[in-house]
Structure 1
Amino acid sequence: MHTRILDSDAVAEAADIAEITSAVEDAFGAYQRNDVLMPAKSYIDLPQYNGDFRSMPAYVEAESWDAASIKWVNVHPDNPEKFDLPTVMGTVIYSDPETAFPLALMDGTELTLMRTGAAAGVATDYLAVEDARTLGIIGAGVQAYSQLAAIASVRPIEEVVIVDVDDERVNAFIEAHQDEFTVREGSPADAASCDVLSTVTPVEDPIVKREMVGEHTHINAMGADAEGKQEHEVATLKDAKLVIDDYEQCTHSGEINTGWHTGELTDSDIDAEIGEIVTGEKTGREEHDTITVFDSTGLAIQDVAAAHVVYEAAEEQDTGMEFELINPERTQV
């Protein structure tokens, strides 16, 4: 048997965002049914290099597929300036759960972009108004691209408002999508008044005020991934139907973490986990709902789901390169 190696271009080529969104939805459902194994993320801190490593293993038994993977990812803030390398890099080992054979070694950075966008796509499908046609995105970095791709796969998006402090990023985003959508630069208030709003920034002080948010806007709060980060005012979260991906992660480091630590938000403010909505145990958007919010921290099961889709497509299309990582004849015991 051969192991398939997929660099970032090969992952992008094999990644169909609609299929990844569907697989992530499957994974959220499996998580709710306790059909996953997902140990807590582990850290190796390296203060001497101003960085750390993180390992994210998981196994998912969905209704029509099962898969296992581990993502090895780093955060080294000095990389761009000192070594001309990205701050964050990830590698995913995708394995056959029956035999443990490593089926693929793939770029985890591109995969993470896709699975994060897919999570927003799942939440938007359940929580946004059915005829949502306008999308606001605050933060024009790489994640903005997968947010648009995933959300446009579940709603008939026509107009996009993009917001960022970096004009070059804004112009690049507009240029990349102007043939598919009506795309314009706007203010946070312009973006927040759209049918759907995705925020993908690392801020610690809210950039979206309660009064900016439209009457029926669905918000994907994707940026908060550490204690102290916060993109939205607590008042917005309290007024909204609030859906999270994981209780432990969100209360510690998600969008709700700041309000949680001050006591402004409690269990009574959380309406559901996304898995409960996927499985039908709780409802998504209802007729009387106004604002809805999805607090996403990112789960290893999403990486498994995305890796499954990418690997199956790569096999079918013969994308990437095959190599003999393990020779059974030499390692047989």
Structure 2
Amino acid sequence: MTVTDRLPTIPVESTPAQAIDTIERTLLAGLDPEDVPARSSVAVPAGELLLMPAAVSSHVGVKIAGVAVGNPARGLPRITGSYLLLDGPTLRPLALFDGAALTALRTPAVSAVAVRRLAVADAAHLVLFGTGPQAYGHLAALLAVRPLSRLTVVARRVEAARELVEHARGFGLAATVGAPDAVADADIVVCATTAREPLFDGTLVPAHAAVVAVGSHEPTAREVDTALVRRSAVYVEARSAAAKEAGDLLLAGWHASRDAGVNLAELVRGEETVPQDRPRFFKSVGMSWEDLAVAVEMHRRHEGN
């Protein structure tokens, strides 16, 4: 029997609200996203293999994730993987988590932390691009931080869009399938797709709106256009990560040292005033500290601590 055979596999069962609170507490406690180890990426025949380590004094964790571009055609998830949690002082393995499920939970939680501070208080209309796990996860997470009453789903596959619409109606939302120009009437826009080119005309986004893009961590892919980036106040998880992976920003000519951009810790701690005269754009590439924070919290609850 190996060490991992004896490890508990802990279900990813945290609620969106719990995950959101965990991310916020982690940042308020002083974590600096700029100091977190960078993601490693290796090209493999099926797609991409990602290695994401993170450490604090109490725990260490690493996610090994696969991005298999051909999986959806096989009826399989595009993102796969596992998360290994270790004891910090001894590096003794403690638990395993489903890496894809963890990603589907923590990414919307991070977005919701940003939206809680960037979206207008009465934000009611969400325009959501995409129909995958991240789309469902973002709907649940944003319902926890804003009084949404209306949803417009924009997607390439009409049937998948209709399924998400029916799901949203179960929450009492007035949900419909729409077109990209629906952003002109949005309070919040979320892009959670595999697109490599802009999904909509950024000049249409109202000045009061908050926009979130989570679909890519590649410097050559983007979901929003140059027009939106240049007219928006920009927010990122970490400037160091965005400078390497945020194609939405890099392809628009954004440069971390020149154009700054507020990182998530600075936003959560209230170190920067959020402007109200232009869109607020949060670009997320996904970082290893987010997985570690949520995994540690779930392990503690599982152990009854």
One-letter identity of the residue aligned with 1:55: L
CA displacement, residues 61-87 of structure 1 (integer Å, 9 cap, x when unaligned): 6xxxx53211011123344557x6433
How many residue pairs match? The answer is 299
Q: CA deviation at 1:31?
A: 6.4
Rate the CA distance shift 1:33–1:230 in 2: closer, same or farther, 3 A. Answer: closer
| Cα distance in 2 for residues equivalent to 1:150 and 1:178 | 16
Q: Does 1:67 align with 2:59?
A: yes
Q: CA deviation at 1:267?
A: 4.1
| Cα distance in 1 for residues equivalent to 2:240 and 2:286 | 12
Any conservation in 2 of the 1:29–1:276 contact (CA below 8 Å)?
no
> Among 214, 218, 221, which residue is 1:222 paired with?
214
| Cα distance in 2 for residues equivalent to 1:314 and 1:192 | 44
Q: CA deviation at 1:230?
A: 1.5
Equivalent runs, 1:257-276 vs 2, <5 Å: 257-260=250-253, 267-276=257-266
CA displacement, residues 236-290 of structure 1 (integer Å, 9 cap, x when unaligned): 1111111111223212321202123xxx66644333111111223223x34x433
SS of 2:292's partner is helix
Q: Does 1:45 align with 2:9?
A: no
| Cα distance in 2 for residues equivalent to 1:158 and 1:59 | 39
Gaps in structure 2 of 5+ consecutive residues: none
One-letter identity of the residue aligned with 1:214: P
Report which of the two structures shows the higher radius of gyration computed on alpha carbons.
1
- Report the TM-score when normalising by structure 2: 0.88
Higher relative contact order (CA 8 A, sep 6+): 1
| Cα distance in 1 for residues equivalent to 2:70 and 2:261 | 40
SS of 1:146's partner is helix
| Cα distance in 2 for residues equivalent to 1:70 and 1:109 | 13
One-letter identity of the residue aligned with 1:3: L
Equivalent runs, 1:314-325 vs 2, <5 Å: 314-316=302-304
- Report the TM-score when normalising by structure 1: 0.81
Q: Does 1:57 align with 2:53?
A: yes
| Cα distance in 2 for residues equivalent to 1:169 and 1:31 | 41
One-letter identity of the residue aligned with 2:20: T
Any conservation in 2 of the 1:73–1:90 contact (CA below 8 Å)?
yes
Any conservation in 2 of the 1:244–1:270 contact (CA below 8 Å)?
no
Q: Does 1:280 align with 2:284?
A: no
Q: CA deviation at 1:19?
A: 1.2
Gaps in structure 1 of 5+ consecutive residues: 318-333
Residue 89 of structure 2 is matched in structure 1 by 98
Residue 165 of structure 2 is matched in structure 1 by 174
SS of 2:111's partner is helix
> Among 205, 209, 214, which residue is 1:213 paired with?
205
- Identity of counterpart residues, as a percentage? 27
Equivalent runs, 1:79-228 vs 2, <5 Å: 79=71, 85-180=76-171, 181-228=173-220
Any conservation in 2 of the 1:42–1:54 contact (CA below 8 Å)?
yes
Any conservation in 2 of the 1:20–1:306 contact (CA below 8 Å)?
yes
Residue 320 of structure 1 is matched in structure 2 by none
Equivalent runs, 1:30-41 vs 2, <5 Å: 33=32, 38-41=36-39
Residue 327 of structure 1 is matched in structure 2 by none
| Cα distance in 2 for residues equivalent to 1:185 and 1:167 | 8
Rate the CA distance shift 1:37–1:30 in 2: closer, same or farther, 3 A. Answer: farther
